[in-house]
Amino acid sequence: MTSASPTTDREPVVATIAFGSNLGPRESHLHAGREALAKTPGVEFLRASGVYETPPVGPSGQGPYLNAVVRVRTALSAPALLQLMLTIERERGRVRAAVERWSARTLDLDLLLYGEQCIAERDLIVPHPRLHERAFVLVPLCDVVHGERHPVSGRTFESLLAEATDREVIVPASWQFGDPLPRQ
């Protein structure tokens, strides 16, 4: 079981996390990641986007991704939340290879937003630096952040999505959070 300790006396923040999977039982990986977050002390699940199937970005030969976005309220600091997310990824069999960027993965969790904060640390940049370029993130993000603005550009996420050139290849998946897991 994943555990993390919230920083005491910290005001809760709404954080937005992208989920992706294109290896193994993709639905099970997304479900387990969501459940692990929701069961962590100091993290309260708020809502989830729809789940979308998208073509892979990166090396050829990969299967399609399932992508979604969840919002949580958390007392964890952004670095502590990131460490929790990395732990959940490892528990689902994620291996981070330094050699090949954008390789296939069992579970990929990215911290997109942490309140309206802008964070630039060695291992953590929030908002996610490529958030505004990726329709596979913007489509599910727009399911959960109605009218909100990107903390750096000040533009609504819907306006960023309207400019995305690859949004037509993103389709709702046959499985959604809350559905029974498919037989593997």
Instruction: Point out which residues pair with 44 in neighbouring strands.
Output: 73
Q: How far apart are CA 103 and CA 126, in angstroms?
A: 22
Q: Which is the catalytic residue, given 26, 34, 71, 105?
A: 105
Q: How far apart are CA 62 and CA 49, in angstroms?
A: 24
Q: Which is the catalytic residue, given 110, 143, 155, 179?
A: 110
Q: Which is the catalytic residue, given 26, 34, 71, 108?
A: 108
Query: 146-170 as b/e, with b when 16 or more CB fall inside 10 Å?
Result: eebebbeeeebbeebbeebeeeeeb
* 94 in catalytic set: yes
Q: How far apart are CA 20 and CA 13, in angstroms?
A: 23
Instruction: Point out which residues pair with 69 in neighbouring strands.
Output: 18
Q: Which is the catalytic residue, given 94, 96, 134, 143?
A: 94
Residue 1 token pair: 């079981």
Q: E strands within the chain?
A: 13-21, 43-48, 52-54, 65-74, 108-114, 119-121, 124-126, 171-172
Find the radius of gyration of the CA atoms of the chain.
16
Any idea which residues carry the catalytic annotation?
94, 105, 108, 110
